[in-house]
């Protein structure tokens, strides 16, 4: 009996020793590194990065980095562009190219800008490693296709200099003034510029150029700001003074601005001011309250 007890104790001792050794081996194999994680600014006009420490074992560095990116920025001045339900299906490195397969939730973009920023943040985060010479994103085994119908293919790091091109969607009326038609355009955004302000300026410019006059002639943008999901647009008196009148033209004027700005996920509604003051009425509309997006006016 004593021999049996002694034998069992020896086995237990060896098992405990083996587990301890395995833990020590695993601990010795864990590597630590600071990585850059790229995220959008709150208004989606810029891409910022934060550093975060990661721990990984050989073969898992890229998975750990991408998971850290998906977990979010944890800071108030940045937002995660990538849909939070996105899952990593596979990640493989071949000939210094990273091949990433993501779940279909990645495609749930809120806007064209959101799509572009989602791709940029993944590309720049994983292209930071010297041994990586490009990445390719697939969605459940299929090529990632842009909103323009083009395959993204192998992605290199995007240039995040002070000025970059931004894709915008402006809403302008059709010929019969029945619906708003989404028009895609690209503009240059400099460091520090607010993209919402640029949207209004482009809307005024495009309105004049195309002869829509949806934004009444002579209208100037005096001030623009954003707070808690509301964009405040302060326009010159020409917006009301030079309006052609009628509920249809007023609807087009108001919602061309509202629907263009609410393309951005951080803007839920638009408050209009005229010469810095809140105006109670604009003929057919109560004008001193924020306007929310109206999908029924968009021509599909």
Question: What is the per-residue pLDDT across 109-156, written as a single tens digit (0 to 9) for each?
Answer: 988 888 989 999 999 999 999 999 999 999 999 999 988 788 999 999
Burial-class residue 128 by CB neighbours within 10 Å (0-12, 13-18, 19+): middle
How do strand 135-139 and strand 142-143 relate by DSSP bridges?
antiparallel
Q: What is the pLDDT of residue 189?
A: 77
pLDDT band at residue 186 under the 50/70/90 scheme = confident
Helices (H), 38-172: 61-70, 112-126
H/E element, 37:
strand 31-41
Compute the average pLDDT of residues 162-191: 81
Q: First vs last Cα of the chain: how many Å apart?
A: 85
Q: What is the pLDDT of residue 295?
A: 92
pLDDT band at residue 243 under the 50/70/90 scheme = confident
Residue 30 CA, distance from chain mean position:
33
Compute the average pLDDT of residues 9-24: 56
**pLDDT score of 245 more than 90:** no
The tens digit of pLDDT for each residue in 82-107 reads 999 999 999 999 999 999 999 999 99
- The ranges assigned to domains in the chain are 34-155, 163-297
Question: Which residues have a Cβ under 8 Å from the Cβ of 285 and sit 6 or more positions away?
Answer: 250, 254
Residue percentage of the chain with pLDDT more than 90: 42
Q: Which has more pLDDT, 37 or 75?
A: 37
**pLDDT score of 69 more than 50:** yes
Q: What is the pLDDT of residue 265?
A: 82
Q: Which has more pLDDT, 67 or 226?
A: 67
């Amino acid at each position: 009996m004593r021999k049996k007890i002694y034998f069992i104790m020896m086995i237990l001792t060896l098992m405990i020793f083996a587990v301890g050794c395995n833990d020590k081996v695993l601990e010795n194999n864990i590597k630590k590194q600071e990585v850059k994680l790229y995220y959008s600014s709150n208004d989606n006009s810029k891409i910022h990065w934060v550093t975060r420490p990661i721990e990984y074992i050989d073969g898992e560095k890229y998975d750990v980095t991408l998971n850290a990116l998906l977990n979010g920025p944890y800071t108030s001045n940045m937002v995660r562009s990538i849909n939070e339900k996105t899952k990593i299906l596979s990640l493989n490195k071949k000939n210094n190219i990273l091949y990433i397969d993501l779940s279909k939730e990645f495609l749930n973009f809120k806007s064209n800008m959101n799509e572009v920023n989602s791709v940029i943040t993944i590309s720049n985060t994983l292209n930071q490693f010297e041994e990586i010479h490009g990445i390719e994103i697939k969605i459940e085994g299929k090529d990632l296709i842009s909103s323009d119908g083009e395959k993204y293919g192998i992605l290199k790091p995007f240039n995040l200099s002070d000025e970059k091109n931004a894709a915008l969607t402006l809403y302008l009326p059709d010929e019969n003034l029945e619906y708003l038609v989404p028009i895609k355009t690209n503009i240059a955004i400099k460091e520090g510029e607010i993209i919402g302000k640029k949207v209004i300026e482009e809307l005024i410019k495009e309105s004049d150029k195309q002869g829509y006059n949806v934004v009444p002639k002579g209208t100037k943008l005096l001030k623009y700001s954003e707070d808690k999901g509301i964009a405040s647009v302060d326009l010159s008196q020409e917006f009301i003074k030079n309006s052609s009148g009628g509920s249809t033209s007023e609807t087009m004027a108001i919602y061309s601005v509202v629907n263009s700005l609410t393309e951005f996920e951080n803007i839920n509604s638009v408050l209009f001011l005229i010469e810095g003051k809140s105006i109670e009425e604009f003929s057919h509309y109560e004008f001193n309250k924020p306007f929310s997006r109206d999908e029924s006016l968009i021509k599909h």
